Amino acid sequence: MTQDEPADLTGTADERAARLVQLETAGRTLTAEWLRRQLASALADWAADETQLDIVIESRVDY
């Protein structure tokens, strides 16, 4: 992250989306690298959530 870039998005999906809208509305320049980093972070969090859901689902299956 460079000094000109905003901090990385954090929080829930709704919080991240709201912050992204704030940055766009404020006219911030969002570089391709910054956007790629945000996408990678969101996808990693999504994958982790799916893993947790799979674990919960499997724990409830009767064998």
Which residues are CB-neighbours of 20 under 8 A, at least 6 positions away? 9, 38
With a pLDDT cut of 70, the percent of the chain lying above it is 94
Cβ–Cβ under 8 Å, residues 63 and 34: no
pTM, whole model, 2 decimals?
Answer: 0.77
> Hunting for tokens 């689902």 — which residue is that?
57
Give residue 63's pLDDT. Answer: 66
CA distances to 9, 10, 24, 28, 42 from 14, in Å: 11, 10, 15, 19, 12
Structural domain boundaries in the chain = 30-63
**Mean pLDDT across the stretch 34-58?**
94
Residue 4 has pLDDT above 80, yes or no: yes
